[in-house]
Structure 1
């Protein structure tokens, strides 16, 4: 039984706590948070003690930590936890700064502890099936990938100001998906973005609507579309054209009923409204994959290097949007 401590008791921490507690191979034994009330509330739900970070790291009976704290703490906590002999699953992204993430990779290399980055969408059953079909060669060589990711409503401007921007906070998932499906990071990134949903987001220096093109050295292309507002629900779709066919993974709908009438035509339900509903199964599968990797001694399904590749794409997209030029993703940006 793997004994696990949770660092961070906010919304995403609560999601992870459920997955840890429900898995037969793991036991949630402690929680900590910079906001004591949040930690106390989550501790009460799961019947676990609130402990300080130092106590958790010093406890040799704790095998692993799940980091669900604010992004600016991720690299520090990864380093501290692995130095203390803990396995780590850390929420995305690795850091707000690519330079800091690369330093984290260098500093943890000698610690010998497994690190997994929490890109949960890889574990969505629909996207995982698409990836399996790609790997099985069912559509030949992947050539053109299109990713649509629209949130139902924008976050508060107060959150936007500390999020690192749309490319690091929201599109980071799509960058990871593109690198995962295409088998590696692109050679260059071209981004355009604007603030058409909420003027306050633009005033805070960010965008709420963006399109990014990723180009690989062998000519393959991916296009990512993001918007902070889709009033009809949480819109999450993938389409991959290959040399021998097409793969598509569509939205998960509120129900499967489809109505066809003479008066109204064909109608179906809307997409599920938010990420918690859409990806709960993915979070559970993500945790199960982490536990399996620890127990088997196998390779982590999402590595620190994968996290850095997605962050490098986000960095390049940020630079491209402000400069109006395509930006190369260099080996140095990938830690190579």
Structure 2
């Protein structure tokens, strides 16, 4: 590291999430320097000027800097090369999900990392959200009894741009993968079978890309707990991400606060009057900060990697099984897509 107490971090990608990460990083204790780069040098320079961080003209120049860690927030197809290049240079990595665009690409990266001790942390920010952490603690403590059901939702208020959908990987890989990861994480169990279906009642570009805008998923865990996942790109009431863990003795609900976009029609209900979360950046702002703070602890060797490429692979297997299930209209065991 630069010194016993400070680090220099590189950040590749200055789109929305990358710029947000840069702003978070520069305020974290122990970060001395943040250097950003982007395939669009002008965009990197504009972001750096706005945030008061350094910019370099390209990725090669970024790798030439004395980096203690690298944050990757670039397009998915660039992730494998950036991860392996950083690891080969001995630079710890934080990479936004996914590791790669498909299962084989993810496996190739994992194979490359097998003999390396350089940590690669994958970005699944819900693991750092206070509500999900409390639910995990309640489940693992046994205070809920045995779980009979979990209900997870990820409902976006409006769809992303049309040009994003063909390269997104589809609703299950792009959106539902967060729910699949968090179901595994809060329960400590593995998904063994899925049944998924989806529909399109919105923009035609979803159908044109072979994707769906709304989906329902049934998961069976390895202890026979059942989980349902609801996904949509069209939840006009606002960004709605919740998890209900229902047990024989009690329950725990994540995301049920005064900004949850739920409208009760009970006559005595008094609404909070607060606006719904407009999107994931606002809903998970604190979780993103905690996630990057954890990465600093990984860089310093004070914390074991909290989310490995193998974790990302397991969530990807579930998403892959969902896609197969949707196309073939049948339950799909995870073992069928595992390689």
Q: TM-score, normalised by structure 1?
A: 0.92
Q: CA deviation at 1:95?
A: 1.6
Whether the aligned pair in 2 keeps the contact of 1:116 and 1:303 (CA below 8 Å) is yes
Within-5 A mapping of 1:185-196: 185-196=190-201
Within-5 A mapping of 1:112-191: 112-191=117-196
Q: CA deviation at 1:207?
A: 0.3
In the other structure, the counterpart of 1:47 is 53
Q: CA deviation at 1:291?
A: 1.3
Query: Residues of 1 paired with 2:257 and 2:101: CA distance?
Result: 30
Runs of 4+, deviation exceeding 3 Å: 251-255
Query: Residues of 2 paired with 1:331 and 1:112: CA distance?
Result: 31
Q: Which string of whole-angstrom CA distances, capped at 9 and with x for unpartnered residues, describes residues 281-334 of structure 1?
A: 11001111111233244311111111111111111111111111222212982x
Q: CA deviation at 1:238?
A: 0.8
Whether the aligned pair in 1 keeps the contact of 2:189 and 2:223 (CA below 8 Å) is no
In the other structure, the counterpart of 2:29 is 24
Q: Which string of whole-angstrom CA distances, capped at 9 and with x for unpartnered residues, describes residues 2-55 of structure 1?
A: 211000000000111112111012234311111112111112122313142223
In the other structure, the counterpart of 2:291 is 286
Within-5 A mapping of 1:90-129: 90-129=95-134
Query: Residues of 2 paired with 1:56 and 1:310: CA distance?
Result: 31
Q: Which string of whole-angstrom CA distances, capped at 9 and with x for unpartnered residues, describes residues 220-263 of structure 1?
A: 111100010111111111101123221111344349xx99x98x
Q: CA deviation at 1:70?
A: 0.7
In the other structure, the counterpart of 1:320 is 325
Whether the aligned pair in 2 keeps the contact of 1:157 and 1:204 (CA below 8 Å) is no
Query: Residues of 2 paired with 1:137 and 1:81: CA distance?
Result: 41
Shift in alpha-carbon separation, 1:185–1:265, aligned structure 2, 3 A: closer
Whether the aligned pair in 2 keeps the contact of 1:190 and 1:321 (CA below 8 Å) is yes
The root-mean-square deviation of aligned C-alpha atoms, in Å, is: 2.3
Q: Is the aligned partner of 1:243 residue 2:244?
A: no
Name which of structure 1's ranges 198-207 and 230-239 shifts more when overlaid on structure 2: 198-207
Query: Residues of 1 paired with 2:46 and 2:86: CA distance?
Result: 24
Shift in alpha-carbon separation, 1:321–1:290, aligned structure 2, 3 A: same
Q: CA deviation at 1:174?
A: 0.8
In the other structure, the counterpart of 1:83 is 88
Residue segments in structure 2 that go unaligned for 5+ positions in a row:
1-5
Q: Which string of whole-angstrom CA distances, capped at 9 and with x for unpartnered residues, describes residues 167-205 of structure 1?
A: 111111111111111214311111101111222211221
Whether the aligned pair in 1 keeps the contact of 2:194 and 2:334 (CA below 8 Å) is yes
DSSP-derived class of the 2:55 partner = coil
Whether the aligned pair in 1 keeps the contact of 2:136 and 2:187 (CA below 8 Å) is no
Query: Residues of 1 paired with 2:287 and 2:336: CA distance?
Result: 31
Q: CA deviation at 1:265?
A: 5.5
Query: Residues of 2 paired with 1:248 and 1:19: CA distance?
Result: 28
DSSP-derived class of the 1:288 partner = helix
Query: Residues of 2 paired with 1:3 and 1:169: CA distance?
Result: 30
Shift in alpha-carbon separation, 1:265–1:133, aligned structure 2, 3 A: closer
Q: TM-score, normalised by structure 2?
A: 0.91
DSSP-derived class of the 2:325 partner = helix
In the other structure, the counterpart of 2:75 is 70
Q: CA deviation at 1:105?
A: 0.4
Shift in alpha-carbon separation, 1:202–1:134, aligned structure 2, 3 A: same
